Amino acid sequence: MSKPKTPRALSETEAQAITRNIRVSPRKLNLVAGLIRNQPVSKAVATLTFSKRRIALAVKKTLESAIANAENNHQLDVDQLVVKHAEVGKAIVMRRFHARGRGRSSQIEKFFSHLKIVVAEKSADETAAKPSRRSTEQKAA
């Protein structure tokens, strides 16, 4: 007797990838994750490819894993995928010490992060029906 299977937390049009214990602080990782939120996956991959931040390579690998999960495990159309969520969380903190003068020491904290990327399939009529923010501002003016 095993425990019952956990129901799927995501909808049928979504896929995810999770990377745990990335050696970067959550604050820095969230800056990179913010670049790709609500972007089409092709644009998000291009943004991460040409980003100068060191951690962009790890975020790109996680995004590509989410795209592969969507294509292979859930049979979603890659051309219609959009980054729905890019969540960053705190992980462990390694504590080290740094020798200081007069026999004292100070603590150095090395932060780790978790990254969860959820991609969702958007149909062509959904993206066309959604008015852009700029066009609504022009109508108001």
- Burial (CB < 10 A; 0-12, 13-18, 19+), residue 132, is exposed
- Tell me if 122 is assigned to some domain: yes
Instruction: Report the domain count for the chain.
Output: 1
Both tokens of 17, joined, read 């990838």
> Rounded to the nearest 5 degrees, what angle is found at the Cα of 67, between the Cα atoms of 41 and 70?
125
66: closest CA among 93, 48, 51, 53?
48
For every one of its 141 residues, what pLDDT tens digit does the chain have, with 9 covering 90 and above?
789 999 989 999 999 999 999 999 999 999 999 999 999 999 999 999 999 999 999 999 999 999 999 999 999 999 999 999 999 999 999 999 999 999 999 999 999 999 999 999 997 666 556 665 666 666 666
- Tell me if 3 is assigned to some domain: no
pLDDT at 1: 75
Q: Can you give the residue range of the structural domain that contains 133?
A: 14-140
Q: What is the pTM of this model?
A: 0.84
- Tell me if 55 is assigned to some domain: yes
* Cα 109 from Cα 25, distance rounded (Å): 10
pLDDT at 129: 60
pLDDT at 2: 87
* Cα 43 from Cα 32, distance rounded (Å): 14
Q: Tokens 């590509």 label which residue?
A: 64
- Tell me if 1 is assigned to some domain: no
- Tell me if 6 is assigned to some domain: no
Report the CATH number at residue 58: 3.90.470.10
Both tokens of 124, joined, read 């062509």
